[in-house]
Amino acid sequence: MKNIWLERLSPWILTIVLILLWEVIVKGFGISRIVMPSASESFYAIYEFRVGLWKSSLTTLYSTVIGFGIAVVFGVLMGVAIGISRPVYVTVYPLMVAFNAIPKVVVVPILVLWIGSGLQTSAVTAFILCFFPIVVNMAVGLATIEPELKDVLRALGAKERDIVIKVGIPRSLPYLFASLKIAITLAFVGAVIAETVAGSEGIGNLMLVASSNFNTPLMFAGIIVIAAMATGMYGIFAALDSRFTGWATRGSMNFATAGG
């Protein structure tokens, strides 16, 4: 029993140790707060600028979730299309790889030109960043159905649609959830990039303003808040994952994970 508690607590213990280390090193070496604020100064900044941080966080969270939501809907549809149809796979997949290879930060100015700066730009950037891993994982789950199983079903007179519904979709759920955990953190990256490059609000913009004011404690406060939000969202999807696809951790499936 003791070991289980220790296992659960160990990441928190490490977090506290790192924060203490941060405090001691910054204070011990007498580093200027403009270069590197101490942990206590950073956490105090969260309290001090709570109104602005709260508003910015909500803005960032909002655009992240919208971009992510759209990516899930279209990513799953696209993944299904690519996974079940070889012609679609052959035609679309190489282009998707090429688009995904573009560093996303360079498309933000173009987006600004097209749709202006603001929430919509952040949401679209979040979408662009997290779309690819969802598509790839969904497609992998569908494309790797055991051929014997397909034969069993086809010999019963199953249509392609039956195979997808009875086997393909349930089988690809663990792949999908694995990708959602990656995608939600990427969506945050996308939203903050857009806010930093082109935004007038959100955590990314707040960081930019803090930087130009040499308000380093606020910048660290922003980092802590965004990290906490992204980890929290990751936690939600990890919980959903283990709830809906617990069978997979017992089976012998291997997951392809893809980053962007």
Partner 1 sequence: MAFIEIEDVDLVYRNSFGHEVSDGTLALSGTNLTMEKGEFIALVGPSGCGKSTLLKVVSGLIRANKGKVTVAGETVTDPLKIVGMAFQNASLLPWRSTRENVLLPLEIVEPHRQRFRAEKAHYEDLADKLLETVGLEGFGDRAPWQLSGGMQQRAQLCRALVHEPDLLLLDEPFGALDAFTREELWDVLQALYTDRKCTVMLVTHDLREAVYLADTVYVMSARPGRVILDKKIDMPRPRKLEDLYSRDIADLIQELRHHINVARTDE
Q: How far is the CB of 83 from partner 1 (least distance, A)?
A: 15
User: Minimum CB separation from partner 1 for residue 147, in Å?
Assistant: 8
- Measured from the CB atom, the residue of 99 and 255 that comes closer to partner 1 is 255
Per DSSP, 36 falls in state: -
> How many Cα neighbours within 13 Å face the side chain of 248?
18
Name the amino acid, one letter, at 191. A
For partner 1, the closer of residues 11 and 157 by Cβ is 157
43 vs 89 by CB, closer to partner 1? 89
The two counts, helices (H) then strands (E), for the chain are 12, 0
Tokens 């696809």: give the residue. Answer: 245
Residue (82 or 208) nearer to partner 1, CB: 82
Question: What is the SS3 assignment for 200?
Answer: coil
At its nearest, how many Å lie between partner 1 and the CB of residue 138?
16
Cβ proximity to partner 1: between 158 and 224 the closer is 158
Closer residue to partner 1, CB minimum distance, 114 or 247:
247
Give the closest residue to 207 by CA, choosing from 215, 172, 68: 215
Q: Which residues of this protein are in contact with partner 1, per CB under 8 A?
A: 146, 148-149, 151-158, 162, 166-167, 170-171, 173, 245, 247-248, 250-251, 253
Shortest separation between residue 169's beta carbon and partner 1, angstroms:
10
d(CA 34, CA 19): 18
How far is it, in rounded angstroms, from Cα 122 to Cα 162? 39
Distances (CA, A) of 123 to 116, 185, 232, 242: 12, 13, 19, 28
Rounded distance between C-alpha atoms, residue 58 and residue 227, angstroms: 14
Closer CB to partner 1, 114 or 151, in the complex: 151
Residue 177, CB half-sphere, CA atoms under 13 Å: how many? Answer: 19
Question: Least distance from C-beta 241 to partner 1, angstroms?
Answer: 14
| Distance from the Cα of residue 187 to its chain's centroid | 5
Closest distance between partner 1 and the C-beta of residue 71, in Å?
25
Q: For the CB of residue 174, give the shortest distance to partner 1 in the complex, in Å.
A: 9
